[in-house]
Chain A
Amino acid sequence: MSTAQKTTYREAVKQAICEALRRDPRVFLMGEDVGHYGGCYAVSKGLLAEFGPERIRDTPLCESGFVGAGIGAALGGMRPIVEVMTVNFSLLALDQIVNTAATLLHMSGGQFNVPIVIRMATGAGKQLAAQHAHSFEGWYAHIPGLRVLAPATLEDARGMLWTALEDPDPVLIFENNTLYNMEGELAENAGPVDIDTARIRRPGRDLTLITYSASLFKCLEAATILAEEGIEAEVIDLRSLRPLDDATYLASIARTHRVLIVDEGWRSGSLSAEISARIMEQAFYDLDLPVERLCSVEVPMPYAKHMEEAALPQVDSIVTTVRRMMHHG
């Protein structure tokens, strides 16, 4: 049996990259500031010295260019890990990701698959304002041909990358930037994890909280507070945003009959809307209350701390919403 060691989310991501670089000579890391600077969020600090400039490649500030280069490398037999600094910047590479990476397998009649992994930071909470702090992972979850992952726990930060690299098709991994400093215990022999299923992170009989990424921890904290009042919330971590693991949350709703979706993305046309629709389609007769959603306020993410906090789903608002649902009024 392996012992657990104290580590951070950042370190877990770094370990995952190191493992991939060691295990497979086709793997390399590419992105803005990943080499000499050590990564915008210091994830790749020290990797340049260990693996050299061939495998840890600094790129110009040109998302469209280096994501395109990554796709080319993948087509050529490499296993690139491309880091895009934030999801906001990935919009500059949207054409490469959506029009190229996601479509080539289809358009080549199955001849060319694109085994690229693109990692990007997402989410608000660090006062990075409206051009660095949005949560667009739900948009990517709209695109057939992509897999979209949202590791929240250390195990997933450590384990999803290798499984993603093994996948023959493009995989996007979204790392919420507020999680990098999160500390916790991780087994020394932690390794690859599945990227298909959602997980129940806390069992409960009264209500299902469906969430992912950083909001998971807000939901868990809210569930602890609610438990003191006798409300047992079941907390589900989606882990994979595309494809969605419908079975796990539908089974939960069959037990609890009530559901609140907590999503840092905006509400309109969102991932939470998609999940809500699926529940309506597949579990209508299990519902004892209308599906509810708690999402970010529909404004560009504010810079001011108090306003940024007010714009995001928080522990308080989750607790209040669940209380209202349980006691209706």
Chain B
Amino acid sequence: MGEFRMPSLGADMETGKLVEWLVTPGQRVKRGDIVALVETQKGLFEIEVFEDGIMGEPLIAAGQTVPVGTVLARIDTGAAKAAAAEMRAEPVAGKASEPASTITPQKTAPQQQAISSERVACSPSARRLALELGVDLATVRGSGPHGAIQRSDIEAAAHATAQATAAPPEPKAAGIEPTAAQTTESRMRQAIAAAVSRANREIPHYYLATEIDLSRPLQWLEAENNKRSIRERILPVVLLLKATAKALRDVPQLNGFWLDDRLQVQSDIHIGFAIALRTGGLISPAIHHVDRLQLGELMQALADLIERTRVGRLRGSEVSNATVSVTNLGDRGVQTVFGVIYPPQVALIGLGKIGERPWAENGMLGVRRCVTATLAADHRATDGHQGALFLEALNRHLQKPEVL
């Protein structure tokens, strides 16, 4: 029996509101299927399941706000055909509202009676953790092998208890039990405030900027776009994104997280691309594996992401796992971007306006189309030397657009 839990869509997310169930009990789901819509401070997200199986009755009804890690529904991962048939006998869409009053994540007493007569299967480490956090093992349901309780179960139980006790008297705690006055926008503002405050408080930023001559890549792009249908045309920012990904391959220390007091370089390159929302605020969903995408694929991925961001239909994985960020403020005429790193990432690349500038080279003055690329990087993770190598690599890759 698997469990479908409220996912964490970012380090700063503590709770999420289950907005809508997109599946009905008894429905067969596969890994990767979208089964629910969840609203966080950053907006509305489609949530995937990670197991194949048959969806059980919802434990949390639509409209409820619950802590990260709360079990939302169980998924029967065995060959539970009989159960499926039984559930199908009364498939009701409105069912989701019913169990809310009876089942809450902390109260799992009925299941406990079955195992209370024997010794609770619990890993030694989880047992010690339970003692430290004051969690009663009899109230915890194990998710480990043969139902054994593991550390993660204890952590979830402790977290749920803390939330349950803290929530009522402390409506102030960011995002828990939003009041009617609190709009999505103001909550998003709070989320942004929390992230940038942490960035400014914890991350010793350093900034580097360089002017890049884009004449050659843009000429190449124009020729390339002439060969493409209008729908398939590629925007200059795609060249910049792809070159950024390739430069990150050359200088991998900028692609990763600062966690546990050390740099954790990530092998995958997922670029968080800052997108301003029409309603105000911004969100930085990830384009996955940018270094492996062809320019055409990257253009499609970008267009798709912008579209879904603006209508509020992002996937959980897209908002939680960017390994580096890119901010492009050139559209608004900005010359140079000095960005704030999104923790726990260690770098943010800023792109300004692409425009004509006087350019001196080989003793001659000419007019070239240029962009100012900036790097804001975490000095704990890298030094200026690596940052400089990155900007140099970015320029080098851009000058060879045909192999991007």
Q: Which A residues lie at the B interface, using CB under 8 A?
A: 203, 205, 224, 227-228, 232, 257, 284-289, 328-329
B127 CB within 8 Å of chain A: yes
B145 touches A329 (CB 8 A): yes
A227 touches B267 (CB 8 A): yes
- Closest partner residue, chain B, to A232 (CB atom): B264
- A289: B residues at CB distance < 8 A: 123, 144-145, 150
A285 touches B127 (CB 8 A): yes
Apart from A232-B264, A285-B124, A329-B145: 4 A-B pairs, beta carbons within 8 A: A285-B125, A287-B124, A288-B123, A328-B145
B124 touches A328 (CB 8 A): no
A228 touches B124 (CB 8 A): no
B151 CB within 8 Å of chain A: yes
B126 CB within 8 Å of chain A: yes
- Closest partner residue, chain A, to B147 (CB atom): A328
B125 touches A287 (CB 8 A): yes
B124 touches A224 (CB 8 A): no
A286 touches B124 (CB 8 A): yes
- Closest partner residue, chain A, to B154 (CB atom): A288
Query: What is the CA–CA distance of A227 and B252 in the complex, to the nearest angstrom?
Result: 15
Q: Which B residues lie at the A interface, using CB under 8 A?
A: 123-128, 144-145, 150-151, 260, 262, 264, 267-268
B124 touches A284 (CB 8 A): yes
Cβ of A282 to closest chain B Cβ, rounded Å: 12
A sample of 19 inter-chain contacts (CB < 8 A) reads A203-B264, A227-B267, A228-B267, A228-B268, A257-B123, A257-B125, A284-B124, A285-B127, A286-B124, A286-B125, A287-B123, A288-B124, A288-B125, A288-B126, A288-B144, A288-B150, A288-B151, A289-B123, A289-B144
- Closest partner residue, chain B, to A289 (CB atom): B123
- B260: A residues at CB distance < 8 A: 205
Interface centre among B125, B144, B262, B268 (most CB of A within 10 A): B125
Interface centre among A224, A232, A289, A329 (most CB of B within 10 A): A289
Query: What is the CA–CA distance of A289 and B267 in the complex, to the nearest angstrom?
Result: 27
- B144: A residues at CB distance < 8 A: 288-289, 328
Query: What is the CA–CA distance of A228 and B292 in the complex, to the nearest angstrom?
Result: 14
User: Do A285 and B145 form a contact, CB below 8 Å, given A227-B267, A257-B151?
Assistant: no
- Closest partner residue, chain A, to B149 (CB atom): A288
- B150: A residues at CB distance < 8 A: 288-289
Q: Which 10 pairs, one residue from A and one from B, show the smallest C-beta to C-beta distance?
A: A328-B145, A288-B123, A288-B125, A285-B128, A285-B124, A257-B125, A288-B151, A284-B124, A288-B150, A287-B124
- A232: B residues at CB distance < 8 A: 264
- A227: B residues at CB distance < 8 A: 267
- Closest partner residue, chain A, to B131 (CB atom): A285
Interface centre among B123, B150, B260 (most CB of A within 10 A): B123
B125 touches A224 (CB 8 A): no
Cβ of A252 to closest chain B Cβ, rounded Å: 13
Query: What is the CA–CA distance of A130 and B150 in the complex, to the nearest angstrom?
Result: 42
Cβ of A315 to closest chain B Cβ, rounded Å: 16
Query: What is the CA–CA distance of A25 and B347 in the complex, to the nearest angstrom?
Result: 55
- Closest partner residue, chain B, to A224 (CB atom): B267
Query: What is the CA–CA distance of A247 and B241 in the complex, to the nearest angstrom?
Result: 45
- B123: A residues at CB distance < 8 A: 257, 287-289
- Closest partner residue, chain B, to A325 (CB atom): B145
Interface centre among A205, A232, A257, A288 (most CB of B within 10 A): A288
- Closest partner residue, chain A, to B266 (CB atom): A227
Interface centre among B127, B144, B145, B267 (most CB of A within 10 A): B145
Query: What is the CA–CA distance of A232 and B128 in the complex, to the nearest angstrom?
Result: 23
- B264: A residues at CB distance < 8 A: 203, 232
Cβ of B290 to closest chain A Cβ, rounded Å: 15
Cβ of B125 to closest chain A Cβ, rounded Å: 4
Query: What is the CA–CA distance of A288 and B268 in the complex, to the nearest angstrom?
Result: 28
- B262: A residues at CB distance < 8 A: 203
Cβ of A106 to closest chain B Cβ, rounded Å: 38
Query: What is the CA–CA distance of A227 and B265 in the complex, to the nearest angstrom?
Result: 11
Query: What is the CA–CA distance of A203 and B262 in the complex, to the nearest angstrom?
Result: 10
- B145: A residues at CB distance < 8 A: 289, 328-329
Query: What is the CA–CA distance of A129 and B123 in the complex, to the nearest angstrom?
Result: 41
- Closest partner residue, chain A, to B143 (CB atom): A328
Cβ of B42 to closest chain A Cβ, rounded Å: 21
Cβ of B292 to closest chain A Cβ, rounded Å: 12
- Closest partner residue, chain A, to B151 (CB atom): A288
Query: What is the CA–CA distance of A329 and B126 in the complex, to the nearest angstrom?
Result: 20
- A257: B residues at CB distance < 8 A: 123, 125, 151
- Closest partner residue, chain B, to A257 (CB atom): B125
- A329: B residues at CB distance < 8 A: 145
Cβ of A284 to closest chain B Cβ, rounded Å: 5
Query: What is the CA–CA distance of A228 and B124 in the complex, to the nearest angstrom?
Result: 29
Cβ of B272 to closest chain A Cβ, rounded Å: 17
Query: What is the CA–CA distance of A284 and B264 in the complex, to the nearest angstrom?
Result: 28
Query: What is the CA–CA distance of A257 and B264 in the complex, to the nearest angstrom?
Result: 19
- Closest partner residue, chain A, to B260 (CB atom): A205
- A203: B residues at CB distance < 8 A: 262, 264
- Closest partner residue, chain A, to B267 (CB atom): A227
Cβ of A164 to closest chain B Cβ, rounded Å: 32
Query: What is the CA–CA distance of A286 and B145 in the complex, to the nearest angstrom?
Result: 17
- B127: A residues at CB distance < 8 A: 285
- A284: B residues at CB distance < 8 A: 124
Cβ of A185 to closest chain B Cβ, rounded Å: 17
Cβ of B29 to closest chain A Cβ, rounded Å: 17
- Closest partner residue, chain A, to B123 (CB atom): A288
Query: What is the CA–CA distance of A243 and B128 in the complex, to the nearest angstrom?
Result: 30
- Closest partner residue, chain A, to B153 (CB atom): A288
Cβ of B105 to closest chain A Cβ, rounded Å: 22
Query: What is the CA–CA distance of A224 and B125 in the complex, to the nearest angstrom?
Result: 27
Cβ of A320 to closest chain B Cβ, rounded Å: 15
- A286: B residues at CB distance < 8 A: 124-125
- B124: A residues at CB distance < 8 A: 284-288
Cβ of A147 to closest chain B Cβ, rounded Å: 32
Query: What is the CA–CA distance of A289 and B150 in the complex, to the nearest angstrom?
Result: 8
- A228: B residues at CB distance < 8 A: 267-268
Query: What is the CA–CA distance of A205 and B264 in the complex, to the nearest angstrom?
Result: 10
Cβ of B246 to closest chain A Cβ, rounded Å: 19
- A285: B residues at CB distance < 8 A: 124-125, 127-128
Query: What is the CA–CA distance of A288 and B154 in the complex, to the nearest angstrom?
Result: 11
Interface centre among B124, B151, B260 (most CB of A within 10 A): B124
Query: What is the CA–CA distance of A227 and B125 in the complex, to the nearest angstrom?
Result: 24
- B125: A residues at CB distance < 8 A: 257, 285-288
- A328: B residues at CB distance < 8 A: 144-145
Query: What is the CA–CA distance of A205 and B266 in the complex, to the nearest angstrom?
Result: 13
